[in-house]
Amino acid sequence: MMHIALFHQDAIDDQLIREIEKSHTIVSVEKKTPRTAVLELKETLNVEHRAHLRNLGVLHQTDVGFLPKHFKGSDIKVLAMDMDSTLINIECIDEIADAVGKKKEVSEITEAAMRGEIKDFSESLRRRVALLKGVPASALDEVFTQRLRLNPGAKELIAGAHAKGIHTLLVSGGFTFFTHKLQAQLNLSETHANQLEIIDGFLTGQVLGKIVDGAAKAAYVEARCLALGANKHAAITMGDGSNDLPMMHGAGLSIAYRAKPIVKEKADLAFDHVGLNACLDLL
């Protein structure tokens, strides 16, 4: 048996369900809402089956995901999210670099790191931050007020999670300047990120303390689940880049949001058409 989830921005197309039925035996269809349905299939799915179903979904502007056997919506206690390009629309470091005309250099490193081509995230972050030396601290405020926007469904996701008593955890390879402001804006339960060194109103090109990399993100998620008397199956994890994979691995449900191909491949759900809050329909 295998459960797959279908997500559409407005309403699930019954034609898509009929097309799935041509190649798979559907045991049951549960419409969670008009835009979200869970199908129980008789057989388990291999890699080719999954790719075929996701491709079918694309034709119907529908995100198709695969629910792990251990996933139980009522057991979820933690919602862990990446920040840059997941909860928000930008990579903050790239936009800060724009203030000194170095966006191209920095964003090239960012993209390579997110695709998994640079294996050491800490090294890639230090290389990028070094390029920010001399940037006025006021540039951070400008990025937050002028360029940073929440991604579709972000506010609803956080509010919906809190309404269900779920602990919201923002774990970012970005910077505390932004996570603290988002925590205040969204009333997030907990945030972790990297701290930029600022002296006399200018960035020094250094990061203070230990880097929040993929391993650190995973550790924060596991620690919070443990503190709540649960294991990682009690967490939903959301991200877009390869440094999110460690925290996504073994979670109750992992969601790739408009993510790099390597992340989509490994995640349970890949959201390309719907907003962040679509996963609330499974709870």
Give the pLDDT of residue 269. 98
Of the pLDDT bands very low, low, confident and very high (cuts 50, 70, 90), residue 110 is: confident
Do residues 113 and 192 both lie within one domain?
A: yes
Please, which residues bridge with residue 67 across strands?
Answer: 3
Q: What is the pLDDT of residues 161-219, one digit of tens each?
A: 999 999 999 999 999 999 999 999 999 999 999 999 999 999 999 999 999 999 999 99
Q: What is the pLDDT of residues 150-159, one digit of tens each?
A: 999 999 999 9
Selecting among 14, 75, 84, 120, the annotated active-site residue is 84
Domain range for residue 275? 71-283
Do residues 167 and 40 both lie within one domain?
A: no
Distances 9 to 62, 153, 265, 274, 279 between C-alpha atoms, Å: 8, 11, 22, 5, 12
| Residue from 79, 96, 78 nearest 194 by CA | 96
- Mean pLDDT of the chain, nearest integer: 96
Strand extents, DSSP E, the chain: 2-8, 26-33, 36-41, 62-67, 78-81, 167-175, 190-199, 202-208, 235-239, 253-257, 269-271
120 as an active site residue: the answer is no
d(CA 254, CA 245): 9
pLDDT at 99 over 90: no
Q: What is the pLDDT of residues 41-56, one digit of tens each?
A: 999 999 999 999 999 9
Give the pLDDT of residue 117. 86
Do residues 203 and 223 both lie within one domain?
A: yes
d(CA 92, CA 94): 5
82 as an active site residue: the answer is yes
pLDDT at 120 over 90: no
d(CA 8, CA 37): 9
Do residues 99 and 114 both lie within one domain?
A: yes
Give the pLDDT of residue 113. 82
Burial pattern 172-202, b for ≥16 Cβ within 10 A else e, equals bbbbbbbbebbbeebebbbbbbbebebeeeb
Of the pLDDT bands very low, low, confident and very high (cuts 50, 70, 90), residue 6 is: very high
Residue 3: which CATH number? 3.30.70.2380
Give the pLDDT of residue 84. 97
Residue 160: which CATH number? 3.40.50.1000
Do residues 104 and 51 both lie within one domain?
A: no
**C-beta separation of 241 from 118 below 8 A:** no
Do residues 21 and 125 both lie within one domain?
A: no
Number of domains in the chain: 2
Distance of CA 49 to the CA centre of its chain: 24
Q: What is the pLDDT of residues 213-238, one digit of tens each?
A: 999 999 999 999 999 999 999 999 99
For the chain, what percentages of helix, strand and coil (3-state, to nearest 5) are there?
Answer: 45, 25, 30
Do residues 248 and 128 both lie within one domain?
A: yes
Selecting among 10, 13, 14, 82, the annotated active-site residue is 82
**C-beta separation of 113 from 173 below 8 A:** no
Q: What percent of the chain has pLDDT over 90?
A: 93
